[in-house]
């Protein structure tokens, strides 16, 4: 692989305009294909393994237009006066006239008659293109606008409005890109060198976005998948380009010309980038084991983005480096001015201190991470509901009005489906009504074909209350055969339980395959096992911080969350799969340089210090960039995206500082030569994959090869 990468880097640096032109053609063709044959992102909320899905399928089969999307319209007089019948009648008429609306309930008045709740049912799921986003939301806004003009408070809640208001605004992405550029300028001291990684990442991401659009033509791709793909693709794209540019500048500073520098950077750092990306892709494929179709689309879409930015990094970086020449180096270096300070770099001084006191450093880092991870023992998950939205959204205001006027459970009613051939619907309704956790039930109604009877049960607790999930379980256990407890809230309870049980399956697969890959790459048993353990520790610490911020409410207001909310059920598996791969990026970058030095010198302790000194700055810079990119997404209104971005930012910050800069070098110093222990029998079984290797003999051979072919 070294020879292939060397020649690729050497060739593209020698003929940069060919590569740049080829990429422009690729971008144009990719967008052309996406426009001609691409599909539209579409959520698939059917969960075959969920118990609630059985009831949903019965509703679809026997209730006219059953199983479609729903919305809640809440009307409130702030003065506390009774609502006028004419206002309510006009509202229901306007709602009934909307496209895809199959039924509109009679207004349900609160005890003081100052609040009215109307439920709107649609003949299509919330994923129907005509209902997605503004298509379904704006007509509802138009229907309630006359009431707002009349001075009444009118808010939209429930499934369809909740889906529309959680859409990404894109401001977080822009903020992250601007902050990343500023950090790159500080890291390189050169505007040209700073702009290069960002330009490469954006170019690769553009092609990746077109690829995701083409993927949507062949399968259902979640509307949230491009957001996750952009977040990860932008972060790793900048990281990969940053590592390559840094190594290129290092070789330039050693006196090589730009073509040889590009070739060597590709043969060393390029090889690390390739295998780092493999760990990310392996982790993403683990999402398929989550059991939800939406997770698979997250994995596929993000994998497309990662492969695209990897291709851009391996081709565009050496081409642009060849074009930029010595302009990549800081101004003082280009002008031959003396360095401002003769001190050793900060990372070198830090590495010396860690290696000097490995026991103290390792214990301090371990205790710190364990303290941060401790709250994860009490983590409670729930997918999401209106209570977790920002207080300035209509969905949250509707939720609060419903909870005040009718009780928290009115925000998440259960639908009880009864097969009359197996159970008496009225007897079931009476049994449900007698349960202490149920506040109210409606009268059972039999479908026109007589196949099922349906009624609604209103729990005494809000959807995200931990007692609600217990209530679902208890009702299912107590009710006779032929009865299904379904609806959005029971489905969410099923999802939360499924994801909790499957987390360890995903963790086991990702860890096992990643350890195997690292063992092949670094010819060691200790290094990959230790790397996996430390990755799990940093991820657990980030989960603990999420629990403290969101579930305990410690400082959540700084992120726009005004009260304690559960950690989203989507977060543990999704964050783990992404973070484990990203953490392995930094592990590969650091261990490659340590192993390179170890093979050259045989000095186990010195190689740790020199490896950390050589990579500490680039790892810190790359991590800082990824952190600001992820924090940009944490500014979005949607709580799930907020938790995703913030959790990943915390994990990367901990991984690049406490783990890579303290725990890894400290433990490697303590283990010494045992870091590279590999049983002979396992060495014979494992395929050989070399990590970064700076070999003078290899350079001489490759330089001679390039001279022969005249490149």
Average pLDDT over residues 381-408: 87
Distances (CA, A) of 418 to 62, 425, 449: 12, 6, 13
| Contact present, 80 and 100 (Cβ < 8 Å) | no
Q: What is the pLDDT of residues 646-689, one digit of tens each?
A: 999 999 999 888 998 899 889 988 888 888 888 888 878 877 66
Q: What is the pLDDT of residues 76-123, one digit of tens each?
A: 998 888 888 888 999 999 999 998 898 899 999 998 899 999 999 888
Average pLDDT over residues 194-219: 89
Q: Does the domain formed by 391-494 have CATH 3.30.70?
A: yes
The token pair that represents 81 in the structure block: 């006066």
Distance CA 653, CA 524 (A): 27
Q: Which class would CATH give 64-165?
A: alpha beta
Enumerate the H helices of 634-695 as residue ranges: 639-654, 664-671, 680-685
Global pTM?
0.84
156 three-class SS: strand
92 phi/psi in degrees, rounded to 5: -65, -35
Among 226, 153, 122, 588, which Cα is nearest to 398's? Answer: 153
Q: What is the pLDDT of residues 313-327, one digit of tens each?
A: 999 999 988 888 777
Give me the residue label for tokens 């401790």: 374
Among 453, 407, 397, 391, which Cα is nearest to 108's? Answer: 407
| Contact present, 613 and 348 (Cβ < 8 Å) | yes
Percent of the chain with pLDDT over 70: 91
Looking at residue 452, the DSSP 8-state letter turns out to be: -
| Contact present, 261 and 14 (Cβ < 8 Å) | no
The token pair that represents 45 in the structure block: 């909320």
Average pLDDT over residues 223-239: 85
Q: Where on the phi/psi map is residue 385: left (φ > 0), alpha (ψ -120 to 50), or beta?
A: beta
- Provide the residue count of the chain: 711
Q: What is the pLDDT of residues 284-297, one digit of tens each?
A: 888 888 888 888 88
The token pair that represents 601 in the structure block: 């010198």
Domain boundaries, the chain: 2-37+168-382+495-703, 64-165, 391-494
Among 69, 91, 226, 230, which Cα is nearest to 163's? Answer: 69
Residue 169 pLDDT level (bands cut at 50, 70, 90): low
Exposure class string for 570-604: b at 16+ Cβ within 10 A, else e: bbbbbbbbbbbbbbbbbbbbbbbbbbbbbbeeeeb
Domains 64-165 and 391-494 share a fold: yes
Compute how many other C-beta atoms are within 10 angstroms of the C-beta atom of residue 113.
13
More confident residue, 29 or 558: 29
């Amino acid at each position: 692989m070294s020879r292939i990468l060397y020649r690729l880097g050497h060739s593209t640096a020698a003929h940069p305009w060919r590569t740049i032109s080829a990429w422009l053609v690729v971008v144009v063709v990719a967008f052309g294909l996406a426009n001609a044959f691409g599909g539209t992102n579409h959520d698939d909320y059917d969960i075959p393994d969920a118990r609630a899905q059985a009831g949903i399928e019965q509703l679809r089969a026997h209730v006219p237009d059953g199983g479609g999307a729903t919305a809640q319209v809440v009307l409130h007089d702030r003065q506390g006066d009774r609502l006028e019948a004419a206002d309510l009648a006009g509202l229901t008429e306007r709602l009934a006239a909307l496209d895809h609306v199959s039924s509109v309930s009679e207004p349900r008045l609160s005890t003081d008659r100052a609040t009215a709740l109307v439920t709107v049912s649609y003949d299509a799921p919330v994923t129907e293109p005509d209902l997605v986003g503004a298509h379904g939301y704006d007509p509802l806004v138009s229907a309630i606008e006359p009431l707002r003009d009349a001075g009444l408070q009118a808010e939209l809640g429930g499934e369809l409005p909740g889906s529309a208001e959680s859409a990404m605004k894109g401001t977080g992405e822009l903020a992250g890109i601007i902050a990343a550029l500023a950090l790159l300028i500080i890291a390189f001291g050169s505007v040209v060198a700073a702009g290069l990684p960002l330009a490469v990442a954006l170019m690769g991401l553009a092609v990746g976005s077109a690829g995701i659009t083409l993927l949507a033509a062949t399968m259902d791709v979640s509307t949230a998948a491009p957001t996750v793909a952009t977040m990860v693709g932008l972060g790793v794209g900048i990281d990969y380009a940053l590592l390559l540019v840094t190594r290129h500048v290092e070789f330039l500073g050693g006196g090589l010309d730009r073509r040889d520098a590009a070739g060597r950077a590709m043969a060393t750092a390029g090889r690390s980038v390739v295998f780092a990306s493999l760990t990310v892709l392996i982790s993403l494929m683990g999402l398929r084991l989550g059991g939800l179709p939406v997770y698979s689309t997250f994995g596929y879409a993000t994998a497309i983005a990662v492969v695209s930015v990897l291709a851009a990094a391996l081709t565009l970086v050496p081409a642009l480096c060849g074009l930029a020449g010595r302009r990549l180096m800081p101004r003082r270096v280009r002008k031959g001015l003396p360095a401002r300070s003769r001190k050793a770099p900060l990372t070198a001084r830090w590495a010396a201190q860690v290696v000097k006191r490995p026991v103290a450093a390792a214990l301090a880092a371990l205790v710190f991470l364990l303290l941060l991870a401790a709250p994860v023992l009490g983590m409670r998950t729930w997918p999401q509901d209106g209570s977790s939205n920002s207080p300035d959204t209509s969905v949250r205001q509707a939720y609060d009005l419903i909870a005040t006027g009718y009780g928290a459970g009115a925000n998440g009613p259960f639908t009880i489906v009864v097969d009359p051939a197996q159970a008496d619907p009225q007897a079931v309704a009476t049994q449900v009504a007698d349960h202490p956790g149920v506040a109210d039930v409606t009268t059972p109604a039999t479908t026109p074909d007589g196949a099922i009877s349906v009624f609604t049960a209103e729990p005494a607790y809000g959807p995200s209350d931990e007692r609600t999930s217990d209530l679902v379980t208890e009702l299912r256990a107590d009710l006779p055969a032929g009865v299904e407890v379904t609806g959005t809230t029971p489905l969410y309870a099923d999802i939360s339980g499924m994801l909790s049980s499957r987390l360890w399956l995903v963790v086991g697969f990702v860890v096992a395959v990643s350890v195997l890959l690292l063992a092949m790459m670094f010819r060691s048993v200790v290094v990959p096992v230790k790397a996996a353990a430390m990755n799990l520790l940093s991820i657990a610490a980030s989960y603990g911080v999420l629990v403290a911020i969101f579930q305990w409410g410690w400082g959540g207001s700084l992120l726009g969350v005004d009260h304690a909310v559960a950690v989203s059920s989507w977060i543990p598996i999704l964050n783990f799969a992404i973070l484990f791969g990203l953490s392995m990026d930094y592990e590969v970058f650091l261990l490659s340089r340590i192993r390179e030095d170890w093979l050259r010198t045989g000095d186990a302790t010195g190689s740790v210090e020199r490896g950390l000194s050589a990579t500490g700055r680039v790892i810190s810079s790359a991590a800082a960039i990824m952190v600001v990119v992820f924090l940009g997404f944490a500014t979005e209104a949607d709580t799930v995206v907020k938790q995703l971005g913030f959790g990943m930012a915390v994990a990367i910050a901990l991984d690049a500082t406490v783990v890579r800069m303290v725990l890894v070098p400290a433990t490697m110093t303590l283990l010494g030569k045992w870091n590279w222990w590999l049983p002979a029998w396992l060495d014979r079984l494992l395929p050989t994959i070399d990590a970064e290797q700076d070999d003078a003999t290899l350079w001489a051979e490759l330089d001679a090869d390039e001279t022969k072919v005249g490149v």
